[in-house]
């Protein structure tokens, strides 16, 4: 049977009634995006892989409690986010994720100054995000790095949209303050 035409909700209901292939389809649909998100939250490939597995194990265990009216993706990411934040809190230190536009390992010989500058800004960004509180960090990662809408981020974090907007605003403000020197240098270099 081809499961690709079913919605996530339908697949989840099919799985809750014993159809393991439906679960496999859900995993295939969501594993890459969820893995990328977890890797950005943990900055550790091994931890991201472990949390990905743990998240899907929890989905399987809680299949009967899934409410079809809720977005499966929001429910999935909420499980992953809660697990991730608990883990990071227990670890005692939040590390950072991959920054979009990160400099590749390849050396660009025609623009070595710009490449060095990009690497410096990327590292400064990572350090600044590391210092964000867990709620601000989760909101900024979901909204600005994972490109979720405010309502989607709110559903994932299980908080009101206004709270997500506040967290994102505060997180961006902190990041701007911490990166002010780099932002000013970029403006000066652009003149």
- Domain borders along the chain are 1-95, 97-191
CA neighbours closer than 13 Å in the CB half-sphere of residue 163: 11
Architecture of the domain defined by 1-95: Orthogonal Bundle (1.10)
pLDDT at position 34 is 93
Report residue 143 CA to chain centroid gap. 9
CB-based contacts of 113, cutoff 8 Å, min separation 6: none
Blockwise average pLDDT, block size 10, the chain, 191 residues: 91 92 94 90 86 93 85 90 79 45 43 62 74 86 88 91 95 87 55 34
pTM of the model: 0.67
| Cα 130-135-137 angle, rounded to 5 deg | 35
How far apart are the C-alpha atoms of 115 and 103, rounded to whole Å?
7
Asked if 23 contacts 9 with a C-beta cutoff of 8 angstroms, the reply is no
Rg (CA), the chain: 19
Pick the closest to residue 161 from 186, 142, 134, 183 (CA basis).
Answer: 142
How far apart are the C-alpha atoms of 5 and 157, rounded to whole Å?
28
pLDDT at position 184 is 61
pLDDT at position 83 is 87
Torsion from C-alpha of 135, 136, 138, 142, nearest 10 degrees: 140
Pick the CATH number of 97-191 from 1.10.1200.10, 3.40.630.30, 1.10.1040.10, 1.10.10.10: 1.10.10.10
| Structure tokens belonging to residue 165 | 């907007």
Asked if 8 contacts 26 with a C-beta cutoff of 8 angstroms, the reply is yes
Pick the closest to residue 59 from 75, 36, 42, 81 (CA basis).
Answer: 75
Q: The tokens 């998100």 sit on which residue?
A: 37
How far apart are the C-alpha atoms of 105 and 97, rounded to whole Å?
16
């Amino acid at each position: 049977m081809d499961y690709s035409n079913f919605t996530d909700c339908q697949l989840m209901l099919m799985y809750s009634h014993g159809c393991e292939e439906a679960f496999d389809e859900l995993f295939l649909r969501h594993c890459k995006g969820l893995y990328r998100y977890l890797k950005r939250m943990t900055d550790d490939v091994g931890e991201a892989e472990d949390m990905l597995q743990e998240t899907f194990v929890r989905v399987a265990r809680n299949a009967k409690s899934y409410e079809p009216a809720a977005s499966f993706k929001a429910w999935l990411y909420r499980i992953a986010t809660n697990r991730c934040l608990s883990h990071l809190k227990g670890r005692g230190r939040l590390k950072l994720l991959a920054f979009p536009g990160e400099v590749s390992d390849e050396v660009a010989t025609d623009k070595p100054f710009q490449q060095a500058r990009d690497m410096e800004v990327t590292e400064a960004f990572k350090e600044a995000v590391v210092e964000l509180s867990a709620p601000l960090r989760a909101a900024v990662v979901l909204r600005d790095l994972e490109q979720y809408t405010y309502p989607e981020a709110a559903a994932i974090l299980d908080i009101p949209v206004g709270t997500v907007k506040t967290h994102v605003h505060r997180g961006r403000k902190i990041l701007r303050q911490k990166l002010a020197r780099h932002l000013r240098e970029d403006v000066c270099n652009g003149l």
